[in-house]
Amino acid sequence: MNQIPALSRNARAIAAGHVLTPLLGTPFFTRLEALNTNNDWYAWSGYKAPHTLSDEELEYFAIRSTAALFDISPMTKYRISGPDAVAFCNRLTVRDVRKLGVNRVHYTAWCDDHGHVLDDGTLFRLGQDEFRLCSQERHLPWLLDSADGFDVSIADESAEIAGLALQGPVSYAVLRDAGFQGVENLKPFQLGSFPHEGGSVTISRTGFTGDLGYELFCPRELALSLWDRLWAVAEKNRMRAIGYAALNHARIEAGFIVANADFVTSETALREDRLRLPDEIGLDWLVDLEKPNFNGRTAIVKAREKKTLKHILVGLEIEGNVAGPLSLIYHKKKREVGIITASAWSPILKKNIAIASLERPFGEKILNDLWVEIYALRELNYQKLMKPVKIAPRPFLKLDRRGATPPGLT
């Protein structure tokens, strides 16, 4: 029997799109690679993305004290356009798209026919009949199937559109000094088009940190010149490029959730008890029952009427300063009632905070005598800690500058 050389097998696997396929570089990869002194990368939607670049603590404080630049190019981006674009998006998502004005953005979610959340994300209205849907996971087959009967065009523009998140109290000053005139007029969840290198950059006053911030989108070929335009005023404004670790810390403080971290999307769930309705992950406020029918509406209404909701997503404050991601929650230290999905020590609040999924009625009607089981590694030994937890409202951190218009300069 002829033996196939290992190198040949790997080459064939790569050519076939196997898991061994090297991660892609984003349009900003060369700039990030030069800054990544830690060589600390992770995989995001098939792209090589930085977990940290230099120092996680300094990167976090750039978000809260000056300005932080984060590459969001791997985020999935779908262009939805055509005469039925409004009707299609309204049928797809849980919010009333008819209320979303041109050059506005809103946070939304979409469900399968059983009311289980497929994903959450942002919907940008770029024109009267033109939208961009941004999400964590990929949904093109679902979108195309859902578009049956609608006069719409759906295109995956994830690879063609580069994206940056510019966040922090000095983020507006960075844009001003970089020459983006008029950006000070953008209100929260508003977007505009600004000239750049013979083309344009779409800038929206949005972000994932709970702070003053913006997101910038441009064609892939303009990516490096956009980065360099911002970086030219970086030192003056103490702007720092950051990785996901710092961003994740900030988003926990802001109480934001992440698909397949704080909840499992219905397309990726392998077990039925992992499925979640919007009300079970804190997204009940998004659901507009006054709008025309949308995917999952009947199931959501039925669950509310019959009170069959099984889970609830809550904010927690934990005694001490040891974070406990994926730690179990107990009632009276005995009965297991949930799990922490994300946790962090907040330097701003000086509190140990977490997001947790609990089994109702815990976290809804039963709020007291809840405990978390944390295993802390200390000098090569794990120490079991049982710490009391308190239900806390999200967001944990509220910053007035996030909504100030015009934005402040410090």
User: Is it true that the peptide bond before 361 is cis, omega within 30 degrees of 0?
Assistant: yes
Q: Which candidate, 65, 79, 45, 410, places its Cα nearest to that of 244? A: 45
Among residues 175, 168, 165, 163, which one has the least CA distance to residue 58?
A: 168
Distance from C-alpha of 356 to C-alpha of 317, rounded to nearest angstrom: 10
Within 8 A by CB and 6+ apart from 41, the residues are: 23, 48, 49, 50, 51
Radius of gyration, alpha carbons of the chain: 22
Distance CA 193, CA 153 (A): 22
Q: Which two tokens stand for residue 274?
A: 């992992």
Q: Was 215 annotated as part of a binding site?
A: yes
> For residues 63-81, b (16+ Cβ closer than 10 Å) or e, as one string?
bbbbbbbbbbbbbbbbbbb
Six-digit token string for 117: 């959340």
Give the other-Cβ count within 10 Å of 292's Cβ.
12
Distance CA 361, CA 340 (A): 17
* β-pair partners for 402: none
- Chain mean position to CA 10: 34
Contact 372, 328 (CB under 8 A): yes
Residue 179 and residue 243: Cα distance in Å, rounded?
Answer: 25
| Residue list, annotated binding site | 215
| Residue list, annotated binding site for substrate | 215
